[in-house]
Structure 1
Amino acid sequence: MAIVCLGCGEYVETKVEKEKEIRICPDCGYEEKFKLLPLFIITGASGVGKTTIVKRLREVLTDSEIFDTDEMHAADWQQARSNWLKVAFQIAQSGRHTVLCGTMMRHDIEDCDHFRFFRHVYYINLHCDDAARESRLRARPQWRGVTEEFIADHKRFAQWLLDNAAIEYEPPMPTIDNTNINDVEAARQISSWVNHWR
């Protein structure tokens, strides 16, 4: 993503040297230090409670910023993802970590402009069994548009996440199954995972 260089004032696409935590103007060579922190993403199929877990995470990860990504929509979903990474990057410059709660796929995140400004992006899969997922989805208000096809799609997607956690993600994406645990316990497990990797 192009920015205004603080050295020459030109609008440029900076080069990034992660090892030195600097971005470099290709025109004048001005070097700007930046904080290179990891980013954390809680993904999962619909119905697992990604939105619900946000409040509990804020109670246990008080030194991090926790966001429900559904709070910022865009007609272009890739632009919305890019915007979330820009927000997370700015937060990182204050030395704070960001946890994004929303269905985000690795390849979509890696296509974002600001992906290169993070030390690593870690994913965790929030999961529940099919019976719990179906019950939760059917309990949603009518305006949410839950159909039989939607339920079937997210059952398949949930299985795909389980099947590909060790194939598509590095390190392998862990799974927290909240079928039979409450939000407090799920948040505690997610907090331990975040603290392990940061």
Structure 2
Amino acid sequence: MGIKLPLFIVTGASGSGKTYVVQELRGIMPNFDVFDPDHIVEFIGHDWEKVRNIWLRVAQNIAQSGRMTIICGSMMPWDIEKCVDFPCFKQVYYLNLHCNDETRERRLRERDWSVEMIQEHKNFAKALLDIADKDFDPPMPTIDTTDTDVTLVASQIKEWVLRYV
């Protein structure tokens, strides 16, 4: 099977800043490959199982070159564990980006989201906070992006990743 390296997933409900932090992470972590999984949705649609399997395959192939991957997308352990390439990783680590409800609502309204979808993601964000310590191994840390500059968020993510490499 080759090299088994860890995989890092920066998760969070929509509007938390996952896409926003990708470019900054690429700049400060040039030895890692950083991806936003939503970038392939326009080509393959909203088949989230397929999206997850594709990204884990990409990360697994990158690992064979001795490099590690950070995926910035809403991905949960119970879904990732079903992926074909899940056993190819030494460990999968999760970090949660979070913002307060008002900020999330503003960010998602700017994307023309419906009231129902915004509420769904507020609920998801709350659920992530509730399960961070019990459904993730190791427990999932949270970074609040409400008023935090993207540069600081990226540096906090970098510190978290470097703890495990």
> TM class, shorter-chain normalised?
over 0.9
The separation in 2 between residues aligned to 1:153 and 1:63, in whole angstroms, is: 36
Structure 2 counterpart SS, 1:180: coil
User: For 1:175, which of 122, 133, 142 is the aligned residue?
Assistant: 142
2:12 corresponds in structure 1 to: 44
**Structure (1 or 2) with the greater strand fraction:** 1
1:138 corresponds in structure 2 to: 109
- Highest CA radius of gyration, 1 or 2? 1
The separation in 2 between residues aligned to 1:187 and 1:108, in whole angstroms, is: 25
Structure 2 counterpart SS, 1:197: coil
Superposed CA deviations along residues 124-147 of structure 1, whole A, max 9, x for unmatched, are: 00000111111111112x4xxx11
Output the amino acid matched with 2:158.
S
The separation in 1 between residues aligned to 2:145 and 2:52, in whole angstroms, is: 26
Q: Equivalent residues in 2 for 1:108-147 (5 A)?
A: 108-140=79-111, 142=112, 146-147=113-114
Superposed CA deviations along residues 86-122 of structure 1, whole A, max 9, x for unmatched, are: 0000000111100001111111100000000000000
Alpha-carbon deviation of 1:80? 1.4
Alpha-carbon deviation of 1:193? 0.4
Q: Equivalent residues in 2 for 1:152-163 (5 A)?
A: 152-163=119-130
Does residue 150 (structure 1) correspond to residue 117 (structure 2)? The answer is yes
Structure 1 counterpart SS, 2:163: helix
Structure 1 counterpart SS, 2:61: helix
Alpha-carbon deviation of 1:55? 0.4
> What root-mean-square deviation, in Å, do the aligned CA atoms of Structure 1 and Structure 2 show?
0.9
The separation in 2 between residues aligned to 1:87 and 1:165, in whole angstroms, is: 26
Alpha-carbon deviation of 1:49? 1.1
Superposed CA deviations along residues 12-39 of structure 1, whole A, max 9, x for unmatched, are: xxxxxxxxxxx4xxxxxxxxxx010000
Name the % identity: 49
Alpha-carbon deviation of 1:53? 0.5
Alpha-carbon deviation of 1:158? 0.2
The separation in 2 between residues aligned to 1:35 and 1:183, in whole angstroms, is: 32
Q: Gapped runs of 5+ residues in structure 2? A: none
**Structure (1 or 2) with the greater helix fraction:** 2
Does residue 69 (structure 1) correspond to residue 37 (structure 2)? The answer is yes
Alpha-carbon deviation of 1:40? 0.3
Q: Equivalent residues in 2 for 1:10-49 (5 A)?
A: 23=1, 34-49=2-17
71-80 vs 81-90, greater mean Cα deviation: 71-80
Query: What is the TM-score when the length of structure 2 is the normalising length?
Result: 0.96
Indicate the structure whose relative CO is greater, using CA pairs within 8 Å and at least 6 residues apart: 2
The separation in 2 between residues aligned to 1:77 and 1:185, in whole angstroms, is: 30
User: For 1:191, which of 155, 158, 164 is the aligned residue?
Assistant: 158
Aligned residues: 162
The separation in 2 between residues aligned to 1:160 and 1:36, in whole angstroms, is: 31
The separation in 1 between residues aligned to 2:146 and 2:51, in whole angstroms, is: 30
